[in-house]
């Protein structure tokens, strides 16, 4: 999904707002889910590179998953009882639409790394046992030094305030 004029973080927050408003047809409430452990290990280098430092500590976690983006998005989608329209759909996006401009990473270096190709991106939100979380999945996954692209999926998890 492409939103002109919006950075990745703004799209995550926009997606989260839409998801908060979404309810299933029966108006039922659903309990929180656990984030699957298989989402992959956290990567502090990627978190420091791709998330804004101006947010409170613990607002973001970044994971590296060996799982293909489509499979991971489908697994997370299965945990979402009332997904917002477009949530968890894997689409191609421009590099800066995928990664946003908020992090301190070297924008030109990331663009060169992708060499004109477009990363795959999926976004969605879940109410988890730790609160509401917004997920941004991006594949392929760059390393923190922006020197190589790795197979698998980078997962940015944003903790959102509960309303």
Q: What are the residue ranges spanned by the domains of the chain? A: 44-160
User: At residue 12, does pLDDT exceed 60?
Assistant: no
User: At residue 4, does pLDDT exceed 90?
Assistant: no
Question: Can you tell me the mean pLDDT for 57-66?
Answer: 92
User: What pTM, to 2 d.p., does this model score?
Assistant: 0.79
Dist CA 108 CA 88 (whole Å): 28
**Residue 138 zone, left/alpha/beta (φ > 0; ψ -120 to 50; rest):** beta
Dist CA 105 CA 94 (whole Å): 16
Helix, strand, or coil here: 48? helix
């Amino acid at each position: 999904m492409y939103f002109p004029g919006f950075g990745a973080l703004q799209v995550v927050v926009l997606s989260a707002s839409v998801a908060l408003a979404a309810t299933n047809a029966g108006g039922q409430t659903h309990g929180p889910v656990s984030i699957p452990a298989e989402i992959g290990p956290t990567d502090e280098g990627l978190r420091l590179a791709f998330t804004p430092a101006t947010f409170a500590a613990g607002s973001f976690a970044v994971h590296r998953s060996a799982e293909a983006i489509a499979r991971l998005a489908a697994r997370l989608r299965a945990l979402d009882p009332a997904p917002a329209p477009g949530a968890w759909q894997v689409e191609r996006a421009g590099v800066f639409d995928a990664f946003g401009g908020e992090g301190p990473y070297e924008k030109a270096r990331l663009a060169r790394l992708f060499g004109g190709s477009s990363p795959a991106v999926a976004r969605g939100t879940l109410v988890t046992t730790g609160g509401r979380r917004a997920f941004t999945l991006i594949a392929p996954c760059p390393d923190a030094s922006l020197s190589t692209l790795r197979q698998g999926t980078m997962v940015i998890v944003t903790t959102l305030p509960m309303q």
